[in-house]
A and B are shown apart, each in its own frame.
Chain A
Amino acid sequence: MPTNVLELSALLGLGAFGAGIVGALTGLGGGVVLVPMLTLLFKVDMRYAIGTALVSVIATSSGAAAAYVREGYSNVRVGMFLEVATTSGALAGAFLAGLIPTSALAVVFGLFLLYSAYVTMRARQETGRSLPPDPIATRLGMNSTYPTPQGREAYHPQRVSLTWGLMAVAGLLSGLLGVGSGALKVLAMDRVMRLPFKVSTTTSNFMIGVTAAASAGIYLHRGYIDPGLAMPVMLGVLAGAVMGSRLLTAAKAGALRVLLAVVIFALAVEMVVHGLAGWI
C-alpha cells in the first residue's frame, strides 16, 4: 500500500492508465474497472470512488466522441432525444446514491459488473437492417444513413418509447454507480432501436459524457470529488485511452475481451461479497 500522496498518485495514475488502455481496446468504459480498483485495491470509500470514476468517464467519453462524431457514424438526433432520458435518470440516480448505504451500492455494483462481464463475452455480429421506417422515429427526424464499404446506407430506428425507457434506467445506473453504462446504452440502441452496431456504439459514446456530467455536478457539490484522486485518475485514464486507440488498429481485441470478462467476473463476486459482509 502507498504511504504518502506522491506514491498514491503514481500508483493510481498507473492503474488508471491501464484502465484507459483496456477501455479503449474493449469498448468497456473506465468506470467499470476504476470503481472496484479504487475500493478493493486502494481501500477508498465507495463515495469517493464513484465521484472519481465519473470524472474519468466524462474525460474518456468526450475524448473518444470528438474523434467518432467527425467520422459520421453517430446519430446526433437519436443521441440528443435519448439524452433527455439519460440525464433525468442520472440526476435521480445521484439523488438516490445519497440515501443508499455504501454496502448496498457495492452489491448493486457487483450485479452490474456481472452483466457487463456477460456483455463483454458475447460475440457481436452485424445483421442486415433493412427495416421499414417507424412513424415516431420519422416524426422525430431520426432516420439517417451511415458509411459502409458500399457507400452510405440508410437505416430506420425502431421502438423509440421502449428505448427511451431503457435509457432512463441506464442513466439511473450511471448516476448511482459512477459508470458510463455504455453496455446498456449500446444494448438498447442495438437490440431495441435496431441501429447499425457502429452507430449504436458511437452514439452511446456521444451520450455518455452528457449523462455523466448530469450526476457529476451533484457529486461535486456533495463533496464526493477529491482533487488528490481525480488528478491522477483523470490524467492516467486519458493517457491510457490515447495509447489504447493507437493500439486498436494493430491488435485484435478478441483474447483480451475474454480475459477482461474473467477479470470483471472476479471483481463482481468480490464487490458483492464485500458489500454483503459490510466491508465497503
Chain B
Amino acid sequence: MPGRPWTDEQVEQLLGRVLQVGVVLAAAVVLLGGVGYLLGHAMQEYDYRVFRGEPVDLRTLEGIMRGALGLDGRDVVQLGVVLLLATPIARVALSAFAFARQRDVTYVLVTSVVLLLLLASLLAG
C-alpha cells in the first residue's frame, strides 16, 4: 500500500524473508564453492595448527570477487561467507528504511548507527 506507513507486523514479515533468502543464498554459494574446492584439493594435506592468516585474495572483498569470478573454489566459498555477513546488514538497512517510512526519527538514527558500524567492519581493510 504505497503512501501508508508500514506496520510493525508487515516489517517483521519482510525482515524474516530477507534473513531466510540471505542464508539460503549464502549456503548455496558456499556449497558450490566447497564442491569446487574439494574436487581440486581433496587429497591435499592441511595444517591449521599454526596460524598463518589467509592470503590477500581470501581476505579482501576485491580479492574474493576476482577469485570467485575466476571460479576458484576457495574464493567462491569466501564469497558465500561475505553474502552471509551481508545478510544481517541488509536486515538492518531494511529496518532503517522501514523506520523512515514510519517517520520514527529516533529509530532511524539508532538503526543508522548500527548500519554504519557494520559497514565499517565489512568494508574496511
Contacts and interface: CB of A to CB of B under 8 A. Distances in A.
Given A72-B9, A216-B85, A234-B30, 9 more contacts: A62-B87, A70-B12, A80-B111, A141-B104, A213-B118, A217-B85, A218-B121, A222-B59, A226-B58
Interface string B5-49: 000110111011101101100110011011001100111111011
Interface residues of B, number: 68
Contacts of A45: 48-51
B43 A4 contact: yes
B119 to A, nearest CB: 9
Contacts of A222: 53, 59, 125
A132 interface: no
B30 A228 contact: no
A261 to B, nearest CB: 29
B113 interface: yes
B16 A227 contact: no
Given A45-B49, A141-B106, A76 B8 contact: yes
A48 interface: yes
A221 B125 CA distance: 6
B12 to A, nearest CB: 5
Interface of B: 8-9, 11-13, 15-17, 19-20, 22-23, 26-27, 30-31, 33-34, 37-38, 41-46, 48-55, 58-60, 73-75, 77-78, 80-82, 84-85, 87-89, 91-92, 95, 104, 106-107, 110-111, 113-114, 117-118, 120-125
Interface in A1-23: 3-6, 8-9
A129 to B, nearest CB: 20
B49 to A, nearest CB: 5
B34 A232 contact: yes
Residue from B49, B50, B51 whose CB has the most chain A CB atoms within 10 Å: B51
Nearest to A175: B121
Contact of A220 (B43, B49, B82): B82
